[in-house]
Structure 1
Amino acid sequence: MDDGRWRELARRQDDMLAVRQLVDLGVSRSVVRHKVSSDRWVRRSEHVLSTTTGELTQRQLMWLGVLHAGDRSLVGGLTAATVHGLRNWTRDEVTVLVDDEWSFAPVPGVEFVRTRRTLPDLRGSRRGELPVCALEPAVLLFAARERSARSAQGVLAAAVQQELTTPELLLGWIARLRPLRRAPLLRRVLEDVTGGAQSLAEIDVRRMCRSHGLPIPVRQRARLDRDGRRRFTDCEWRLADGRVVILEVDGAFHLDVVQYGEDVRRHRRLSTPGRIIVRCTALELRDDPDSIARDLLALGVLTSCA
């Protein structure tokens, strides 16, 4: 047995090895059984073991999934997107894309997603590295099968906002992945992102404006408050009489008591006789945009506003 060969492979694979790989390297099954029985190695599934003990890291769990599923399987979905750098979209389970015709036992902590697509065409990593789906097909396939349409839209906006990809690349992959569930919706999201929207709330504002004939607001305008601090507003419309209506959209983090108090002070110090500041929640903007649009119209935001 050549220890050097399997040790090098284990190093490249975060100390995870498939039994078939060990056999190919000349490590007999009896040696494998001995190392497992002596607690030097740990069997993690029917086909995969680790050369270290203890709880698996997230990276090791990814290797467990692809080694267990076999050749051509890929880390996919939000797991792949996280590998490519996507922030704030983590899930507990690791997602692995597998051929629809393959059959194998389940593995705790790993979600195997079956597909008829040609998996090598989706790969975004080099040979010898962790097999990972490219970012664009990873987020698009997640968006297509995700139960929540909001999450489907949000992950595309996040990937672009975090500068991991572009709307043009994602639109190109939508064409390559045809047929793709929710393709019309995903294209509309990318059109909004191309137009400058960088979050679901901004997308919702643009859709509200289009459906009610309101002008698209100026976003993230820098303003100085009464203390001389630079602040950025969510949405602004200048009225015909020169006054400005500012709409601030409160997300979930605004429910924090400390954050709420800071927001109240911020809005008070930004207020002037010529600035009208109104607030709504992201949930209201999503579920009841009509009432927000009516309130904006009542304040004087018309199609002639710039």
Structure 2
Amino acid sequence: MDAAAGAAVERTIVGRPLLYGVQRRTIARELAAEHGGVVHRRTLAQHGIDRHGIRHEMEAGRWFRAGRHTVAVTGPDLGPEALLWRAVWESGSGARLDGASALIADGLTGFTHALIDVSLAADNRHHPVEGVRLHRVAVPSPNVRAGIPRVATEVAAIHAGQWAVSNRQAALLICLSVQQRLTSPARLGLAWRGVTRSPRRAFLGAVIGDVTDGAHSLGELDFTRMVRAVGLPEPTRQVVREGPKGRVYLDVSWDDVGLVVEIDGGHHALALNPIDDALRQNDRVVAGERVIRIPVIGLRLTPNEFLAQVRQMYDVLARNQIR
């Protein structure tokens, strides 16, 4: 090979001519825009930017090393999206976002996480990455098809509940996933039925039941048993009242004092249900009854506090009856 031919080879990479100067930086910015300001070295190479070009930009202070594979082309400080891409690229072959991090990539709001959860096959090579919590799994869950590699939302929600720091956080992540319509109760319930072993199995099964089938979970909670434990008489369940638009079904009632308790399953926060709930509650207040609302998840997490409120309200109404 003569010198000219050798030079031509050096100026090409994977079938593309090497890029220089402004053109190189323009292409890199366009590629990085899809990943929050970072780009994988392999992607740069596929577009004609080799390791020498990368090194030149870094030495000039225009680009920054963010890992073995990750190049920051818009500045040294990585934003939330860039950190997620970096976590996947740097953790190992087949890595994908999982748990709360996958939910955040799906659009979850109202929750922040100090660590990025990433899972990959247990027999794949892996690398520790600062700020990343790595989960090595025997059978990796399938990836979603678009965007950053991550597990399906309903799988991520279940894993988020398993890896949460507390029952309260686990319940929050499960509920937010459904309330923000990242997944449906049906898909979440189907995914849960496929889980054979799980930390917090009893608690997560109860919470997922609350979210996917509130009426059924209410029976399992046995609210009547709970109120008897705090010294209250047995209430009437599934009470029928006549409202302005016909029959209204209430969860629990003590007719002797005019106290109604409504226990809201996870579905009560969806769509127009809060409007219907408010109208039904207001009708009972107008009719002279007192109404206490209890989220069914609240009975899982803080039963004593809610039952104390019911006990106090019952006692107040009973004293008023005597007067």
Partner of residue 103, structure 1: 126
Maintained 8 Å contact 1:236/1:244 = no
Alignment partner of 1:209 is 2:223: yes
**Cα displacement (A) at 1:91:** 1.7
Alignment partner of 1:112 is 2:133: yes
Alignment partner for residue 286 of structure 1, among 303, 307, 312? 303
**Aligned ranges for residues 1-306 of structure 1 at < 5 Å?**
1-2=18-19, 3=24, 9-23=31-45, 25-101=47-123, 102-107=125-130, 110-119=131-140, 121-126=141-146, 129-196=147-214, 207=221, 209-212=223-226, 214=235, 237-241=252-256, 243-245=258-260, 274-276=288-290, 285-288=302-305, 291-292=308-309, 294-295=311-312, 298=315
**Cα displacement (A) at 1:291:** 4.0
Distance 1:97 1:66 in 2: 9
> Cα gap change, 1:28/1:272 in structure 2, threshold over 3 Å: closer, same or farther?
closer
- Report the secondary structure of 1:113's partner residue: strand
Q: Mark the structure with the bigger radius of gyration.
A: 2
Maintained 8 Å contact 1:239/1:300 = no
Gaps in structure 2 of 5+ consecutive residues: 1-17, 227-233, 245-249, 265-283, 319-323
Maintained 8 Å contact 1:209/1:215 = no
Gaps in structure 1 of 5+ consecutive residues: 198-202, 224-234, 250-269, 302-306
Moved more, 174-183 or 207-216: 207-216
Letter in 2 for 1:103: H
Distance 2:164 2:304 in 1: 20
Distance 2:195 2:214 in 1: 25
Report the aligned-residue RMSD.
4.1
Deviations 1:200-258 (A, max 9, x none): xxx8998372533655689xxx99xxxxxxxxxxx975433583446899xxxxxxxxx
Maintained 8 Å contact 2:143/2:150 = yes
Query: Aligned residues, how many?
Result: 258
Deviations 1:151-174 (A, max 9, x none): 212221222223322232112212
**Cα displacement (A) at 1:72:** 1.6
Maintained 8 Å contact 2:64/2:72 = yes
Letter in 2 for 1:142: A
Letter in 1 for 2:303: R
- Report the secondary structure of 1:122's partner residue: coil
Distance 1:211 1:285 in 2: 16
Q: Normalized against structure 2, the TM-score is what?
A: 0.64
> Cα gap change, 1:241/1:204 in structure 2, threshold over 3 Å: closer, same or farther?
closer
> Cα gap change, 1:210/1:194 in structure 2, threshold over 3 Å: closer, same or farther?
farther
Distance 1:291 1:184 in 2: 25
**Cα displacement (A) at 1:59:** 0.6
Distance 1:67 1:52 in 2: 18
Q: Normalized against structure 1, the TM-score is what?
A: 0.67
> Cα gap change, 1:178/1:237 in structure 2, threshold over 3 Å: closer, same or farther?
closer
Letter in 1 for 2:112: T
Maintained 8 Å contact 2:64/2:71 = yes
Deviations 1:71-120 (A, max 9, x none): 3211222121122232212224332223334332422xx3232221433x
Maintained 8 Å contact 1:13/1:63 = yes
Kindly indicate which of the two structures has a greater share of residues assigned to helix.
2
